[in-house]
Amino acid sequence: MPLPLRAPARGRGAAAPAWLAALPALIVIGLFSAYPVAVMVANSLGLGQPPADGGPTLEHYVRAFGSATVRDALVNSLLIAGGAVLFTLVVAVPVVLRQADDDRAGRGGAAADALLTLPIALPGIIIGFFAIVLTGRTGLLGLAWDGFSGLAYTFPGLLIAYVYFCLPRVLGPLRGAAATLDPALTESARTLGASRPRVFCTVTLPLLLPAAIEAGGTAFAVALGGYGTVATLSEGVRLLPLNVANELTTGYRLAASSTLAVVLAAMAVLALVLGRVLARLVRRAVAS
Amino acid sequence: MSRIATWSTCVFVAVPILATLVAATSVDFSQGPWGRGPTLDWFAYAWPPLAPVIGRSLAVATLVVVLNLLIGGPLAWWVARHPSPLTRITGYLVNVPLAVPGIALSVALVGTYPMLRPSGLLLVLGHLVFTLPFTLAALVPALADDELRTNESVARSLGADGARVLRTITVPACLVAVTQAVTMVFALSFGEFNISFFINPPATPTAPFALFDSYSTQRLELASAQSMIFIAFVAPVLTAIAWARRRAPRRTP
Amino acid sequence: MSTHATATGHPPAAARAGGLTVDGLTVHYGSTAAVEDLALDVAPAETVAVIGPSGCGKSTTLRAVAGLVPVSEGEVTLAGRDVTGLGPARRNIGLVPQNYAVFPHMNVAANIAYGLRARGAAADRREERVREMLELTRLTELAERRPDQLSGGQRQRVALARALAIQPDALLLDEPLAALDPQLRGGLRRELAAMLAATECATLIVTHDQREALALGSRIALLREGRLVQFDTPQRLWDDPADAFVADFLAGSVLLDAERDHGHVVALNGRWRIPVRDLAVRTTGHGTTRLLLRHDSLTVTDDSDESALVAEVTHSEFTGDAVHLTVRAGGQVLGVRVPPDARIGRSVSLAAVPGRATLLTPET
């Protein structure tokens, strides 16, 4: 590794401290990201503006978890996000392995590349609209088979829409992990007499698993908070983000809305942390 | 096997877009694809009201990109070049909008700064904090690269001052990363809906809100045409993302 | 230029039951041929080194033998079986890739057992074989270690043990020492040679390092631009190179076309006449009369008689015990070693050191 050369001292005046460069960004983040989140948590605990809130209390949480609709929405949210992420992972693993092979061989696929990245720039509402166009009451697929009509407003329909939503968010990070897999590992395993399925199960999958879990955790967190898709399909299955919005749009109940938002955020953070921790554990378990 | 998976995934992604295009060019989609014949009329109806909204969204996205580079660039430089516990904490702090669901952050922002909402300032700042993590994710590894740092030192030893080093060495070396950051930020801001939900100025909505409104109030064909126009604006940006990734330097071990 | 040299003193490939035979091998990458019409054979327990400059097709040859790249033409025979159409899993080959590809998620013992598990070997048989391999490669103490706790040399031994555990019909090593610290290579090369000597399978080593090839190969196949240039024992490659490329690549020697003229040898278009009595004379299997010059074949002389060659000094390099001069004479670049205290001008007179330069004459 080349030793970094020491930069010659600046000629004129004393150099400004380096953190000064970061200051504008830190101020913006502090004011418009960290502080509002703290206020949100405070609101949910009854620590908001005095006229509305009368001091520290957990009653908003008690009321939220006491409500059957909130509980249902919470369970639905977890099932949809979890199911979509699992399904996406199953689809994504062969795709990224293929892409890694193609990249190494220098083969094309720029079109497929752009196409598979596209959904990341599509807001959730458009993905919800796709579901309506294909499997709404007058959807295109409904013409082929009646069972597709209205599927968009059912649990499986929403699940498929969320798979579309998760796909680019899993493919991206997983592709990086697949690219670092040394092809000599699978080649060696093959020459040692292992069949392709065996190589996949004993070499490829164990090495890809930590990255898959981590990407899954991130995608789960994002899917959990995704509002656009379910907002477009709101006449169907109810998910928690809808309740967060409803508490504000139907009679400004900031504390109740904040409480649900905190619950949602806590689950997302939990998914992220769990993804990281689990990935590390698996990496260690797989390595021993 | 993996080829089949890749192809079916591509089909899975492409079919809804093509179906929306079919709906947008059908006179009456409820009578099947191109029911009562093909037409471009829906695009003609969709464009005039959508044009100012798209223009507004483009302006917001451009502003967010510029702000990202102006304040995210120096932040990335600080995080990459002065690693310390402080930069690690900053790393977590920057990623808060990724962990907290957009709708939750939207509630938080509107609860804290309601007075900034009508001007649209809150929207821009909301997009800014939401996109900053992506700028950092692209720029920090590029700026932390050992080879780049050696090259900068060599340039400085040859007598180039800080601004010259930045212009002739640092920026060219980070061009792919900057492209990646710019395109990603632009696409994310242009299509942002979650964080915008409560902070978007009600009188002057951005493109996703115009679409959302159409989805609940307009005919499917018109909404499809608007969706296709929206996709036509983000597709080139995505091609740029794919291109930037292809050009990303391959590390030689 | 390139000639297909068949090794003398070995039975023809087809007659041999075991070992590895490659016949008429051609491999295409797209429209370019990476390897063309290559013929090689490795006897059981023999080690053949495939050597050549980068891009000569030596790695492709190894990958084709392993079944990792499709073969356009020709066949690969292993222990009497035609394996050309078989996948890598069914060839019974032990491969040691350049970076060793030790499975990072398995400990040393599990790595070695991998091929045995894939073959469904019984647990007791497997454990016994792993124990044998650990002993052979002196890894017994490290059996429970993870690959990231091993040195480069230890990883190499794991990869070797893993490849040998399945009792392969052929062992393939791709640049076995290239990934290691140059200062350790000498010792590890001797260690590797000892372990290879203990195995019974046909071994093919791909390398770009002539010292490795000379030390490890009982025969050497030299490739250039996808074609076999010479395939013979190290001694014969050293003594009787097929052409100037072989002489230069393997030994850093110079091979000049020469003619005999009574008691002299004439080279460099008549600019240099050397008395035959000053030369060692050997027969060559490669056609014409040539003069083989090594670094110690020439010396600087004060006499300017007719046997001296006047040359222009283009470069001089201090090597500690001597100065190495690069000189040019008649369009040919030559190397000369002189004592470090020699006074050298821009032009020197060269003479052959008696007995050090070799005249190769065709068998009559």
Residue pair C312/C344 in contact by the 8 Å Cβ criterion: no
Exposed / middle / buried, residue C297 (Cβ in 10 Å: 0-12, 13-18, 19+): buried
Judge: A193–C95 Cβ closer than 8 Å, yes or no: no
In chain B, positions 52-91, which contact chain A (CB-CB < 8 Å)? Answer: 70-72, 74-75, 77-79, 81-82, 86, 90
Judge: B231–A272 Cβ closer than 8 Å, yes or no: no
Q: Which residues of A touch C (CB under 8 A)?
A: 182, 184-185, 187-196, 198, 202-203, 206-207, 286-288
Question: How much is the average pLDDT of C180-197?
Answer: 84
Axis-axis angle for helices A183-191, C152-165 (nearest 10): 30
How many Cα atoms within 13 Å fall on the side-chain side of residue C278? 19
In angstroms, the Cα distances linking A245 to A53, A82, A131, A257 are: 20, 22, 22, 7
Give the CA dihedral B150, B155, B159, B160, nearest 10 degrees: -120
Does C270 reach chain A within 8 Å, measured CB to CB? no
* CA–CA separation, B86 and B100 (whole Å): 21
Rounded CA Rg of chain A: 24
Pick the residue from chain C with its C-alpha nearest to A286.
C105
The overall average pLDDT reported for chain C is 86
pLDDT tops 90 at residue A88: yes
CATH 1.10.3720.10 given to domain A59-287:
yes
* CA–CA separation, B57 and B191 (whole Å): 9
* CA–CA separation, C57 and C229 (whole Å): 12
Instruction: Categorize the per-residue pLDDT at C206 as very low, low, confident or very high, splitting at 50, 70 and 90.
Output: very high
Give C19's contacts (C-beta < 8 A, 6+ positions apart): C41, C42, C43, C44, C46, C79, C170, C202
Q: Which of A188, A191, A206 sits opposite C105 (nearest CB)?
A: A206
What is residue C320's DSSP assignment? S
| H-helix or E-strand spanning residue C284 | strand C280-284
> Is the Cα dihedral A195, A196, A199, A200 positive or negative?
negative
Domain ranges of chain A: 59-287
In chain A, positions 177-216, which contact chain B (CB-CB < 8 Å)? Answer: none
For the stretch B116-151, pLDDT in tens is: 888 888 999 999 999 999 999 889 988 988 888 888
In this predicted structure, what is the pLDDT of residue C51?
93
- Report the SS3 class of residue B199: helix
* CA–CA separation, A236 and A231 (whole Å): 10
Measured in whole angstroms, how far is the alpha carbon of residue C353 from the centre of its chain? Answer: 28
Neighbours of A102 (CB within 10 A): 17
Judge: A244–B99 Cβ closer than 8 Å, yes or no: no
Nearest to C156 by CA among C176, C182, C170: C176
Residues of C in contact with A191 (CB under 8 A): 66-68, 88-89, 91, 93-95, 163, 172
Residues of A in contact with B68 (CB under 8 A): none
pLDDT tops 90 at residue C48: yes
- Residue C256 pairs with which residues in a beta bridge? C291
Instruction: Categorize the per-residue pLDDT at B76 as very low, low, confident or very high, splitting at 50, 70 and 90.
Output: very high
Backbone angles phi, psi at C360, to 5 degrees: -100, 120
What is residue C4's DSSP assignment? -
> Which residue, chain included where needed, has tokens 């429970």?
C144
Residues of A in contact with B81 (CB under 8 A): 18
In this predicted structure, what is the pLDDT of residue A52?
57
Q: How far is A283 from chain C (nearest CA, A)?
A: 8
In this predicted structure, what is the pLDDT of residue B115?
87
Residues of C in contact with A180 (CB under 8 A): none
In this predicted structure, what is the pLDDT of residue A286?
66
Instruction: Categorize the per-residue pLDDT at A3 as very low, low, confident or very high, splitting at 50, 70 and 90.
Output: very low
Residue pair C295/C335 in contact by the 8 Å Cβ criterion: yes
Does C115 reach chain A within 8 Å, measured CB to CB? yes
Instruction: Categorize the per-residue pLDDT at A287 as very low, low, confident or very high, splitting at 50, 70 and 90.
Output: low
Q: How far is A192 from chain B (nearest CA, A)?
A: 22
Domains in chain B, CATH or no CATH each:
1-39 (no CATH), 44-247 (1.10.3720.10)
pLDDT tops 50 at residue C203: yes
Question: How much is the average pLDDT of B110-118?
Answer: 85
Neighbours of B167 (CB within 10 A): 11
Q: Which of C104, C115, C146 sits opposite A192 (nearest CB)?
A: C115
Q: Which of B125, B146, B223 sits opposite A32 (nearest CB)?
A: B125
Residues of C in contact with A185 (CB under 8 A): 101, 103-104
pLDDT tops 70 at residue A15: no
pLDDT tops 90 at residue C130: yes
In this predicted structure, what is the pLDDT of residue B250?
45
Exposed / middle / buried, residue A12 (Cβ in 10 Å: 0-12, 13-18, 19+): exposed
Token readout for A62 is: 């008690």
Q: With DSSP H G I counted as helix, E B as strand and the rest as coil, what are the percentages for chain B, rounded to 5?
A: 80, 0, 20
Judge: C68–A190 Cβ closer than 8 Å, yes or no: yes
Judge: A254–B246 Cβ closer than 8 Å, yes or no: no
Axis-axis angle for helices A19-29, B121-144 (nearest 10): 140
Angle value at C-alpha C260, between C254 and C265, nearest 5 degrees: 50
pLDDT tops 50 at residue A269: yes
Q: How many CB pairs under 8 A join A and B?
A: 276
How long is chain C? 364
Instruction: Categorize the per-residue pLDDT at A5 as very low, low, confident or very high, splitting at 50, 70 and 90.
Output: very low
Judge: A187–C95 Cβ closer than 8 Å, yes or no: yes
pLDDT tops 90 at residue C220: yes
- Residue C336 pairs with which residues in a beta bridge? C325
* CA–CA separation, A259 and C63 (whole Å): 62
In angstroms, the Cα distances linking A101 to A90, A107, A181, A273 are: 18, 9, 10, 31
Domains in chain C, CATH or no CATH each:
13-245 (3.40.50.300), 254-362 (2.40.50.140)
Neighbours of C130 (CB within 10 A): 24
pTM beyond 0.90: the answer is no
Judge: C105–A182 Cβ closer than 8 Å, yes or no: no
How many Cα atoms within 13 Å fall on the side-chain side of residue B190? 25
Neighbours of chain B (3+ CB pairs under 8 A): A
For the stretch A219-232, pLDDT in tens is: 998 888 888 888 88
Write down the ipTM of this complex: 0.85
Q: Which of A28, A167, A221 sits opposite B128 (nearest CB)?
A: A28
What is residue C217's DSSP assignment? -
Judge: C95–A202 Cβ closer than 8 Å, yes or no: no
Pick the residue from chain A with its C-alpha nearest to C68.
A187
For the stretch B241-252, pLDDT in tens is: 777 766 665 433
Neighbours of B163 (CB within 10 A): 8
Backbone angles phi, psi at B152, to 5 degrees: -60, -40
Does B138 reach chain A within 8 Å, measured CB to CB? no
- Give chain A as a 3 state SS string: CCCCCCCCCCCCCCCCCCHHHHHHHHHHHHHHHHHHHHHHHHHHCCCCCCCCCCCCCCHHHHHHHHCHHHHHHHHHHHHHHHHHHHHHHHHHHHHHHHHHHHHHHCCCCHHHHHHHHHHHHCCHHHHHHHHHHHHCCCCHHHHHCHHHCCHHHCHHHHHHHHHHHHHHHHHHHHHHHHHCCCHHHHHHHHHCCCCHHHHHHHHHHHHHHHHHHHHHHHHHHHHHHCCHHHHHCCCCCCCHHHHHHHHHHCCCCHHHHHHHHHHHHHHHHHHHHHHHHHHHHHHHHHHC
For the stretch B170-211, pLDDT in tens is: 888 888 888 888 988 998 899 888 888 888 887 888 888 888
Question: How much is the average pLDDT of C180-187?
Answer: 82
Phi-psi region of A46 (alpha: psi -120 to 50; beta: other; left: phi over 0): left
Judge: A207–C93 Cβ closer than 8 Å, yes or no: no
For the stretch A118-160, pLDDT in tens is: 888 888 899 999 988 888 877 778 777 877 777 888 888 889 9
Token readout for B188 is: 């994310």
Residues of B in contact with A101 (CB under 8 A): 2
* CA–CA separation, B200 and A125 (whole Å): 16
Nearest to A75 by CA among A155, A141, A153, A7: A155
> Which residue, chain included where needed, has tokens 């409820």?
B30
Token readout for C290 is: 């040539």
Axis-axis angle for helices A155-179, A205-225 (nearest 10): 130
Judge: B243–A129 Cβ closer than 8 Å, yes or no: no
For the stretch A16-28, pLDDT in tens is: 777 888 889 899 9
Percent of chain A with pLDDT over 70: 90
